[in-house]
Amino acid sequence: MLPRCAFSVCHVFVLVLCLSSAEDFDWTKNGHSSFHYGTFPAGFSWGAGSSAYQTEGAWDKDGKGLSIWDVFSHKKGKIQRNDTGDSSCEGYHKIKDDVSLMKELKLNHYRFSISWPRLIPTGIKSDHINEKGIQYYDELINHLLESKITPVVTLYHWDLPQVLQEKYGGWQNISMVNHFNEFASLCFERFGNRVKYWMTFNNPWSVAVEGYETGEHAPGLRLKGTGAYRAAHHIIKAHAKVWHTYDTQWRGKQKGLVGISLSGDWGEPVDISNQKDIEAAERYVQFFLGWFATPIFHGDYPQVMKDFVGRKSVQQGHGTSRLPSFSPQEKSYIKGTCDFLGIGHFTTRYITQKNHPSARSGGSYFTDRDLAELVDPRWPDPGSEWLYSVPWGFRRLLNFVKSQYGNPMIYVTENGVSEKMLCTELCDDWRIQYFKDYINEMLKAIKDGVNVKGYTAWSLLDKFEWDEGYSERFGLYYVDFRNKNKPRYPKASVQFYKRVISSNGFPNQREVENWRRKAVETCSSSNQLLAAEEQRSTAANILRLIHDPLTSHMEMVTEIVVPTVCTLSILLSAVFLMFLLRRRN
């Protein structure tokens, strides 16, 4: 997720298109071709994803230690409506249910992450290993394999053990490299006989920038201009170490692959006839994806990052660059530590050159880039504030990866769209549109020669969306968070995605339109049923409230009196119902 502050400059503009050719990535070639009917290569892997803190719940069960997200979300004012992941989707108790949803979708793979403090409560392996945590992941992996679903495992999806944060300062400290390596080794040892796809980190950009620069995410530090670069530096070293550990100690026996999942928005020059805008757009992508991908594929940070951060650091009176550097040994150790590249992609920005004078700004990751981000107001943005649907940006990003990093094997590890819905809504027509168009752009990229092997829809379930709490829903399945059992209901996009999977693509226009029509038809009746069910449970809550002492329900009242039209109408009908019941008695 991207910080809101970065997008305050978004405005209207006009785009001029022209075509030309160049040897490397061609910034000026941006033809938006029409929908491409066709199928994916045989063996293409279709999946859906999740992460531990966002779905498991059971935050303090069975010997799990605290993570930085447990602590952060319990602090007032950090998360929308002070939501926490304490129980989330209760995924910890619902392995069977969730695997049957995956079977229903006919997924080839499922991407999930392992909670480090669930396995090693303090984060330090020599302290204690929590066998109950191991059992949980054993069970999940076994159920997946029995259902012929390949587990794709992320080792770090942001939930650092709190002890490591308190004792060492988390990713600001180089000692994380060894602690993370020990945790990874434990996972290879216990699960590696069955897990063949590993990712060290998920979206380290967010960990670094939002965790240590803007403080919007755990651990909530605001170390402007240095915190993000330092965290990223240690993360890259930790990634490389774990890759080498697997390569030298486990690969021979286990024959798996180790990659990393990087996120990258696409940056398109506002004016492609303006060299300054082209350079600014390239800087945007290099500071985002290239920051991590370039060391991993080429051994060092992108030259443009070294130049910009270095120059500004000197102007600001620093003796050395705020961007740390790798020694020659480190460069060769880090280079080539990626068996496949995971790409998480959601959206695009237009980019133009904008100078941020170094002396005044004081230096930050954002001002170091000397650019401004813009959006086209016609782009659909159904959910998260930062997420505009711009399918063609996906094809551009994938082609960029091909040309910059030697056409690596790619798995798309996250792609999807959210909604902000207060009333129940299973008819997610806009999500169908998003998936249809983004998946189609990925198909075009494959035709361009990009080596994409699999796609992971984000996400299987609605879940805890970090600082946005439960207010943004990314799921294919709707989760009723108000109900203690957290029941799941399929949205229309489940029906659509299922068809894409079973046809391995888009056979022809007539069929694809039919899928969509049917998906929307079936969802409206389940939508009504669910809305009625939710109305009933809210009415039951209100009745309970009236019979019990008022003070014990203060919190519940505040929740119920959310000023939405739907909630008001539920309240009114409940009062009416009560009135009728009382008259009958």
For ligand NOJ, the closer CB: 339 or 462: 462
Of the candidate residues 45, 55, 203, 404, the single one contacting ligand NOJ (CB under 6 A): 203
Cα(212)–Cα(228) distance, integer angstroms? 5
Closest CA to 468 of 426, 421, 527, 532: 421
DSSP string across 147-180: TT-EEEEEEESS--BHHHHHHH-GGGSTTHHHHH
Catalytic residue selected from 414, 441, 465, 468? 414
State in angstroms the smallest separation of the CB of 523 from ligand NOJ.
Answer: 23
Q: By CB under 6 A, tell whether 414 contacts ligand NOJ.
A: yes
Binding mask 114-153 for ligand NOJ (x = CB under 6 A): ----------------------------------------
Q: Does 419 bind ligand NOJ (CB under 6 A)?
A: no
Closest contact distance (angstroms) between CB of 165 and ligand NOJ is 19
Which residue is closest to ligand NOJ by CB?
Answer: 1
Work out how close the CB of 465 gets to ligand NOJ at its nearest, in angstroms, rounded to a whole number.
Answer: 6
Q: 184 near 144, Cβ under 8 Å?
A: no
Residues 6+ apart with CB under 8 A from 255: 196
Q: DSSP letter for 246, please.
A: I
Q: How far is the CB of 369 from ligand NOJ (least distance, A)?
A: 20
Q: Between vectors from CA 490 to CA 135 and to CA 260, what angle results, nearest 5°?
A: 50
Closest distance of CB 50 from ligand NOJ, Å: 9
> Measured from the CB of residue 80, what is the shortest distance to ligand NOJ in angstroms?
13
Note if 534 is an active site residue: no
With CB under 6 A as the rule, give the number of residues binding ligand NOJ.
10
Q: Which residues pair with 342 in a beta bridge?
A: 261, 411
Which of 2, 8, 42, 36 lies closest to 391, judged by CA?
36
- Of positions 277, 462, 465, 467, contacts ligand NOJ by CB under 6 A: 465
487 contacts 475 by C-beta, under 8 angstroms: no
**CA 129, chain centre distance (Å):** 28
Binds ligand NOJ by CB under 6 A, chosen from 88, 202, 254, 440: 202
73 or 263: CB nearest ligand NOJ: 263
Tell me the pairing of strands 341-344 and 257-263: parallel
What x/- string results for residues 21 through 60 when contact with ligand NOJ is judged by CB under 6 A? ------------------------------x--x------
Angle formed by the axes of helices 509-547 and 565-584, to 10°?
Answer: 50
Instruction: Name the amino acid, one letter, at 258.
Output: V
Q: Is the Cβ of residue 90 or residue 467 nearer to ligand NOJ in the bound state?
A: 467
- Residue 370 binds ligand NOJ (CB under 6 A): no
List binders of ligand NOJ among 235-264 (CB under 6 A).
263
Q: How far apart are CA 319 and CA 313, in angstroms?
A: 8
* Helix, strand, or coil (residue 338): coil
Q: Which of 170, 302, 344, 505 binds ligand NOJ (CB under 6 A)?
A: 344
Interhelix angle 204-212/227-245, rounded to 10 degrees, is 150
Buried b (16+ CB within 10 A) or exposed e, 483-498: eeebbbbbbbbbbbbb
Q: Which of 1, 238, 272, 305: binder of ligand NOJ (CB under 6 A)? A: 1
CB of 203 to ligand NOJ, least distance (A): 4
Which residues in this chain contact ligand NOJ in the complex, by CB under 6 A? Answer: 1, 51, 54, 202-203, 263, 344, 414, 465, 474
Q: Which residues are catalytic?
A: 414
